[in-house]
Amino acid sequence: MEERRFRTLGVLDKMRHFRLPPVPYLQVVVCRLILGADFKYPKRTHITLEGLENLESDEPMILAMNHTDRFNYMPFMWELDQRGYPPVAPWVKGKYYQNRWLSEFLCWACCIPVPSRGFLLTLDWLARTGRQPDKTEYRQLRLLGDGEWSNQDQLETSVQEYLAAAPGGSPEAFFEEFQRHFEGLTGEVVRINREAMEMGYRPLIFPQGTRSRPLTRGFSGIVQMALHMKVRIVPVGVSGSDDCYPGDNPFSKGGRVHYSIGKPFDPSADPEAPSDFIPLTIKASRDHGETFERLTDELMGRINELLPPEYQFAEEQTVSDQGAERFI
């Protein structure tokens, strides 16, 4: 019976026990001692903010920022702390919470873990096979997890073997089991974000889901969360941080970073916006996917207007064929 359970139940257990600190002590220490010194010495980082009046409201809100590099939120977080604004709670990928010590640090640094479907499928596959899936295997896993693959005989042999040992055992039953498992996780993500806003945090989300200097299309999770929470989204465009943080080094090389903060966007004002749904679930995407995508495109368009030309949407955007390696 144990073999038929998802090997990612530990992720669900971690999410159930996850609590943000009521006071962001570590974030304050990082901002005032580490980032403050980093931005001033030895190579100065000049940070400018435009549109701060759009953050003046005391109402709960979600911040949406383009994602040019791994650390582009840190100068923003530091500036907000210096000016006395509420603390931010950035969304981070679930994989960063697999390491015990890193997960403790991120929790105390007020970062919210958001495990994706691809991450959970990859983790379960890795636990059963001892290796990460190749791109073909991963594509088929995603289709199984999304309930979009019904012909078991056309699966790769390795995926058929995985499916035979996984919960459900058939494409249809696997989808039902995975959907139930994933909805348990998304329920915890919703709880954590609700608690964060009740404590005065402002969730900071990167709708692109990946790093890119030119803006790319966003995923609809942020719109779903805002509609469910009945809050507005404040778009933020950042430029210059990718020159300060060209790699994995969290210390700035120095330079200029500019943040342009736009007017709040209220997705619930759209006449077709749904209100009665569970966010981030497969069912929500199936029932309201077109509306979610349209509202997300509108949000990304607002971010685009806040960016200089070299950071705006590329004339031709291609969907990258990403595999499972980004989850490991």
Structure tokens at 169: 């055992």
Q: pLDDT tens across 175-230, in order?
A: 999 999 999 999 999 999 999 999 999 999 999 999 999 999 999 999 999 999 99
Give the strand pairing for 202-205 and 88-93: parallel
Nearest to 260 by CA among 210, 306, 199: 306
What pTM does this model have? 0.93
2-314 adopts what CATH topology?
A: Glycerol-3-phosphate (1)-acyltransferase (3.40.1130)
Q: ∠ at Cα 185 (181, 189), nearest 5°?
A: 165
Q: What is the pLDDT of residues 229-286, one digit of tens each?
A: 999 999 999 999 999 999 999 999 999 999 999 999 999 999 999 989 999 998 999 9
What's the Rg (C-alpha) of the chain? 20
Write down the pLDDT at residue 155: 94
Q: Per-residue pLDDT tens for 255-266?
A: 999 999 999 999
- How is residue 17 written in tokens? 């026990």
Q: Convert the pLDDT of each residue in 21-79 to its tens digit.
A: 999 999 999 999 999 999 998 789 999 999 999 999 899 999 999 999 999 999 999 99
Give the span between the Cα atoms of 198 and 142, in whole angstroms.
34
